[in-house]
Structure 1
């Protein structure tokens, strides 16, 4: 075994260096979109991220962040952590494959020593399997960004390899030590991601196969059940232990009249004392198994104790403190991910059923320091359905969200309001949840991928001859010709034939980390992003089967060749074919995947955040929406210290009491937000929805008049804060909630006119409109809590702080005030006058000169003794080799939209030279060769003609026309590939050109009109 071990170790580390080098070369230099900005910010300062928290992940990455020489390098260093974790995952995969592969030759002999040809075959197979996983789509994606999945994969690989290593040991004491290491790793993994726990049933099978001489199906089932029991216990332990501790604490304080934290201290002492006594007892009585179990439980708890960092850091109230889990009560909610709701698993209602009522379940306590007791301040609630409500086993069609319902009906071909059948339920499970949300991702990794466009399918063989550029040149259009898949299936068959125990164990691990996850997660009919990264554990297993496929080729050729053939020739031929197949598989995956996984020189996730903040005046309030709107902003403020004077306020979180309380606190250079509401007005369960209704306590005539004329917002908010009964409706014997007596709102600004004029932000000619105040209508007949708080901020701000809204917000988030906003740079600024009166023919008013200056130059201010530089960044957008996907296109399209609006306004104001400079700057910084054109680039063509840039306009027009026709024709021929939004964009471009080019290029205008009418007819015919 000495030769095998040396070669195994040497090649393992070589593969590690190859994988790590690949990931470092393709590493994102800054914070990616989605959760990465949040995780980097929380790692750098040990803050509290979204539930259920990742404390061990944060602690490790805090160390990497400390290695950065300057703040702008922190993101890169945290990303390096993911690259290293992923490299070690590949190392452990290599060693795991070699340990599993040797079982095909040892015939159950513990002291087996493989021959040199066998060793070389195993090393070749291990290298191919490890490198195939190195270049697999989903794993590579997570390896180059600061997400938990790289570290989670590392711990999964480490735990799995450690158990296989344990399987080779003959010394009982060494076996126990390795089991304790595994227990500790499992405990640590809880602080990264619970996905790691899914390995436990497979580990139980490995234990059973080694410790029982007689292997049977019944015994295997028992092993799986015991492993599953341990898994379920650990899943319960994560929220269950704090819940038990909370119950002990409440009993000690409320019943035994002891001080706060006495119950927690007692429980900690009891657990430590109990485990300590048990460990010493097992030593005295010489019970090694009991000793190992107790030490294992202790080490799991030590690893799990990393969650203490969440409680400690939350108690310091850092700027990012999601859910504020600073005590046991809030920690339980945090660990249970209560803010995300729950999904039925085995039994539940279908989407057509509505709950009759909501009933109180478990009480939620809070500290009453004056009484020295825990008091109930609310209850968890769950829906109650009527006796005739239709419930279904294994419910997959459960979401009653209107958009989800429309998608269910579309997928299943149901009429509006039609109840789905049990068959429909399973059809959705197999076609969408399994097919679209798992096997499609599996195909991406081992068969081929159409593109990075959302919902893109699997690519096997395809002719790109007539494909439009946005498909043909899509960097994520990866062809593997199913070679990795074929090799993996060959390896699976070989595994089943040669070693059924290993095949069963790997099959179980594949199922648990893939299909079982699909069943458990119970995906709705649409997700905000692709979720392939969740299922990398099953792809890890398939990479092992790819390795076995190499062994299968070697053995198949050696056994099939004529017995008279020389052994050397047989070995050389079989080895040569297997090497060629393995290298072809790996080379294809590396070559095809490199350009869409190479994130080097990509910065716009962070630059978009900088540009949005640079659009804001000093001391501004900026309302944003989803993750990609907010997390990059958190990153640049928290890590790079950029524009910390601007207070970022996420409307998605503003409906929670803890976040509102945080907004009432100062953060860095930002003062608290002007929120007059007290906690009693916004705590959970209070004013979640403020309904709009005629005043129930006024005479009918006066109530109607108030409803029609509107409510003065400042006066109304003052009454709310004063708990005036005329703004309240009782909801129970103890609780009241507010209502709004009109959908129309008035904001009197007469006392603020002098300040507004002196602030100098009004458009020209707006001064005369100030005397009328603000008058607008809310977009719906209720006000959600986040909108209620926004209105409270506007009412109490008195224009002392500039208020901005991000351009990607929903209409509801603008609380009906879109007519009072103007474009400044890449943001919308709230004005005290309606822009419709300033520019009657325009949908939105543009501060063109300021926006031009912000985009093209820089603007300096002084605030609180610091210099603020407002400047925009466009790094990497002009380089066609830099990879940008749809996450980036949306933000780039917003920038292009604002540039178009600014250029158009400059032309209308007679400033054509400025408009020309701006448009040429835009086309240079964001060329369509690098970032595909959109509607706003297309709309620049008439403007370019108008400012005299005929050559540029001609070239751009020709490129867009050719591509637009290609997109529509290709989509018509490949209906399954049709992107309705993309098609409608092209048709809209023809419509715009037909209208806008009439005077400039009349012949082209006629051509565009004919194309527009032609394609509209085609779509109409298809719909019929």
Structure 2
């Protein structure tokens, strides 16, 4: 009897707000490691270690249980964890929209009841699910969907406190729980603090005198610190020496260095109108939700602006100002790095989706007041409500379908295939290094090789983490002002050259000048040889063992982010260089095959290949 009553109380629309996005995300989920921070995050999660500053301890501990799933690779399991957190964020949109629309009357409430509100909330959730930003964060490992979901829950808790206070009932536990979750969420990303002004406004808007409640605020602060204690993970795990231990937070100095992101450059660019406009456009409602979505957002804000719920509108505007002032104003990110700040706006997009749901409801209410026929009203309401999520899904599906994205995995495995036994290979860019960390550290591939990351050679904690290479290195004695990546790389190469075969990746090849060494190409990497040795021909045999999934158009892999595109260009450029070297050596057939493959991979390489062939008189 009770079970039947529970089933009747279940809201199928709320279930759909979670299940449908999860289905979409699993359908387009990356099957393995991807570029950017993916390999690093997965390695940190698998080893319960520490990712790059500020460490992401909540995301690390959230993802760890999923590594025990009985299917797929570790990378795939972590990607599933992210898909679930993104679906939860979509549910958060549905839930908050229903909270916002509570007590609102839809068209002919005696006939339709809460259906208009539920459909509007579901449409908003599905639209948010298919936005380019959230979708990109959902189908491989990212902490931002988890953060957005927590932001929604805290927003709801502040509204619960506000309602209970206005009804004459004190419920400070809601604020204490919200403060704990905010502290905890800093372990997913520190941008949660940008929501604090909005949360504070929801409390103060009920009664300005609450600011005088010092005792309650001190207790809330204590709960916030309790949640923030998730960062003790950095210290506890550093003492255990996990596989990935970024910053080595074994003492207070290193802990603060990691937490406060002291390892990142702090130089700000000179801002002009063009840069400022690009920074502001990192938050782009029309791009994420279409112009129609922008219109609905305006309608939703306007629909509450002149009512007793105007405090919700002001809360959204406070959040918008907080994010823009800090991310655009304080961060002042250089133009080539703005794509990094685009991810920070996910909580703000969640709130935007909620008001889009409100805008849908307002429009449906007005349409319903002018449609006398009940059947026509239902059909028209359904078509109108779901036109937006269907359109947004159709726009972004192809660009976010990663279910055949093996580019990063193959790029890293091809690199490892190129290396001889016991080699050491220096990497430069994060995207070239992190998939290698995952393959070697988690998938246990080529554990005989050493893979030092050049930008980290300037840090003692990193040298300490690789004692097999740096236990007695002269790098420790190098003064800090001389510890540039270039200097430390050249010094380390000379230390290792007499001990092991030394290689560099493609990015290092074009980032550092090796004046006293010659480079010997081997596929997409280069061996460093003494300049006194006679030049050796390129090793072209390695191309035959490379995997080229997704490179030659034989699959349906459409996904192309910045780093995936760079990897494809690297394949093309390396094949051009290899093909030209083969032609120089008179190995015409092999050279033509390499140049043909380069042209099939990238159109740019195809044009260059034709020029090279003409230079050598080959048709």
Q: Same fold (TM over 0.5)?
A: yes
Q: C-alpha separation between the residues in 1 aligned to 2:326 and 2:7? A: 36
Determine which of 399, 402, 409 is the counterpart of 1:596.
399
Residues in 1 aligned to 2:497 and 2:508: alpha-carbon distance in whole angstroms = 23
- Partner of residue 937 from structure 1, selected from 569, 594, 606: 606
- 1:61 to 2:63 alignment: yes
Unaligned runs of 5+ in 1: 107-113, 213-218, 228-288, 344-397, 400-404, 413-426, 448-481, 562-566, 667-671, 690-783, 839-844, 858-871, 942-991, 1002-1024
> Are the aligned partners of 2:40 and 2:51 in contact in 1 as well (CA < 8 Å)?
yes
Q: Which residue of 2 aligns with 1:431?
A: 277
Displacement of 1:633 in angstroms is 1.2
Aligned position for 1:955: none
- Distance verdict in 2 for CA 1:554–1:894, change over 3 Å: closer
Aligned counterpart for 2:547 among listed residues 873, 876, 890: 873
Q: Tell me, which stretches of 5 or more residues in structure 2 are unaligned?
A: none
Q: What does residue range 824-863 of structure 1 map to in structure 2 within 5 Å?
A: 824-833=522-531, 838=535, 846-847=537-538, 850-852=539-541, 854-857=542-545
Q: Is the 8 A contact 1:494 1:552 kept in 2?
A: yes
Verify the 8 A CA contact 1:513 1:537 in the aligned structure 2: no
SS in 2 for 1:180: helix
What secondary structure does 1:618 align onto? coil
Quick one: distance in 1 between partners of 2:219 and 2:239?
31
**What does the per-residue CA deviation read over 1:929-972, in whole Å, with 9 as the maximum and x for residues that have no partner?**
xx5422x333444xxxxxxxxxxxxxxxxxxxxxxxxxxxxxxx
Q: 2:21 aligns with which of 11, 19, 22?
A: 19
1:538 aligns with 2:214: no
Which residue pairs with 2:132 in the alignment?
Answer: 137
Following the alignment from structure 1 to structure 2, what is the Cα–Cα distance between the partners of residues 803 and 513?
A: 46
- Distance in 2 separating the partners of 1:209 and 1:520: 27
* Kept after mapping to 2: 8 A contact 1:31/1:37: yes
Relative to structure 1, is the Cα distance of residues 556 and 505 closer, same or farther in structure 2, using a 3 angstrom cutoff?
same
Name the SS for the 2:84 alignment partner: helix
* Superposition CA RMSD, Å: 3.3
Higher helix share: 2
* Residues 596-995 of structure 1 mapped to structure 2, 5 A cutoff: 596-663=399-466, 665-666=467-468, 672-673=469-470, 676-677=473-474, 679=476, 681-682=477-478, 686-689=479-482, 784-797=483-496, 799-809=498-508, 811=510, 813-817=512-516, 820-833=518-531, 838=535, 846-847=537-538, 850-852=539-541, 854-857=542-545, 872-877=546-551, 878-885=553-560, 886-915=562-591, 922=597, 928=600, 932-934=602-604, 936-941=605-610, 992=611
Q: CA deviation at 1:632?
A: 1.1
Contact 2:279 / 2:338 at 8 angstroms: preserved in 1? no
Deviations along 1:148-168, whole A, 9 cap, x unmatched? 112111211222233334555
Show CA shifts across 1:829-866 (max 9, x none). Answer: 0112357x63xxxxxx642xx432x2214xxxxxxxxx
- Measure the CA separation in 1 of the matches of 2:413 and 2:540: 15
DSSP 3-state at the match of 1:831: strand
Mapping of residues 9-408 of structure 1, within 5 Å:
9-69=11-71, 73-105=73-105, 117-167=112-162, 175-210=171-206, 212=207, 219=208, 296-342=220-266, 398-399=268-269
Note the C-alpha offset of 1:429.
Answer: 6.8
| Higher Rg | 1
Q: Is the alpha carbon distance of 1:791 and 1:520 closer, same or farther for their aligned partners in structure 2, counting shifts above 3 Å?
A: closer
The whole-number CA distance in structure 2 between the counterparts of 1:304 and 1:647 is 36
- Distance in 2 (CA, whole Å) between partners of 1:619 and 1:900 is 28
Conserved in 1, the CA contact under 8 Å of 2:14 and 2:91? Answer: yes
What is the Cα deviation at residue 661 of structure 1?
A: 3.1
SS at 1:875's partner residue? coil
| Counterparts of 1:36 and 1:309, CA distance in 2 | 20
1:550 to 357, 360, 364: 360
Aligned partner of 2:303 in structure 1 is 494
- 1:883 alignment partner, SS class: coil
- Structure 1 CA distance, aligned partners of 2:180 and 2:614? 68
Is the CA contact 1:82–1:146 (under 8 Å) kept in the aligned structure 2? yes
Confirm whether residue 585 of structure 1 aligns to residue 388 of structure 2: yes
CA distance, structure 2, for counterparts of residue 5 and residue 187 of structure 1:
35
Aligned residue pairs, count:
611
Instruction: Give 1:142 shift.
Output: 0.8
Deviation at 1:105, TM superposition (A): 4.3
Could you give the per-residue CA deviations for residues 200-247 of structure 1, whole angstroms, max 9, x where no partner exists? Answer: 33223333445x4xxxxxx4xx88xx69xxxxxxxxxxxxxxxxxxxx
Q: 1:518 aligns with which of 321, 328, 335?
A: 328
Q: Residue 46 of structure 2 contacts residue 442 of structure 2 at CA under 8 Å; is this kept in 1? A: yes
Q: Distance in 2 between matches of 1:626 and 1:512?
A: 32
Decide whether the 8 Å contact of 1:513 with 1:536 is kept in 2.
no
TM-score by length of 1: 0.55
Distance 2:437 2:15 in 1: 38
Higher relative contact order (CA 8 A, sep 6+): 2
Deviations 1:690-722 (CA, angstroms, capped at 9, x unpaired): xxxxxxxxxxxxxxxxxxxxxxxxxxxxxxxxx
| Residues 601 and 148 (structure 1), Cα distance of their counterparts in 2 relative to 1, 3 Å cut | same
Distance 1:141 1:906, change over 3 A: same
Distance 1:536 1:202, change over 3 A: same
Q: How far did residue 82 of structure 1 move?
A: 0.7
Post-superposition offset of 1:60: 1.6
Distance in 1 between residues matched to 2:223 and 2:256, nearest whole Å: 22
In 2: Cα distance, 1:446 partner to 1:188 partner: 30
Aligned to 1:996: 614
User: 1:574, 1:917 → 2: CA distance?
Assistant: 64
- Structure 1 residues 119 and 648, CA gap change in structure 2 (3 angstroms): same
- 797 and 537 in structure 1: CA distance in 2 versus 1, 3 angstrom threshold: closer
Residue 483 (str. 1) matches residue 157 (str. 2):
no
Q: Secondary structure at the match of 1:155?
A: helix
* In structure 1, distance between residues paired with 2:363 and 2:117: 12
> How far off is 1:16 after superposition?
0.7
Does the Cα contact within 8 Å between 1:40 and 1:78 map onto a contact in 2? yes
Contact 1:824 1:846 in 2 (8 A): no
Deviations 1:384-413 (A, max 9, x none): xxxxxxxxxxxxxx53xxxxx6xx6xxx5x
Farther-moved stretch of structure 1 (891-900 vs 32-41): 891-900
> Would the alpha carbon gap of residues 674 and 102 (structure 1) be closer, same or farther in structure 2, given more than 3 Å must change?
closer
The alpha-carbon deviation at position 641 of structure 1 amounts to 0.8
SS at match of 1:823: strand
Question: Does the aligned pair in 2 maintain the 1:186–1:196 contact within 8 Å?
Answer: yes
Q: Tell me by how many angstroms 1:646 deviates.
A: 1.5
Pick the aligned partner of 2:288 from 445, 449, 455. Answer: 445
Check 1:798–1:321 CA distance in 2 against 1; reply closer, same or farther (3 A cut).
same
- Kept in 2, the 8 Å contact 1:138–1:536? The answer is yes
Q: What is the deviation of 1:892?
A: 1.8
CA contact (8 A) 2:285 2:294 kept: no
Question: Per-residue displacement from partner, 1:334-364 (whole Å, max 9, x unpaired)?
Answer: 1111121446xxxxxxxxxxxxxxxxxxxxx
Q: Distance in 2 between matches of 1:116 and 1:687?
A: 74
Is contact 1:128-1:546 (8 Å) kept? no
TM-score, with normalisation over the residues of structure 2? 0.89
* Aligned partner of residue 829 in structure 1, secondary structure: strand
CA distance in 1, matches of 2:174, 2:341: 34
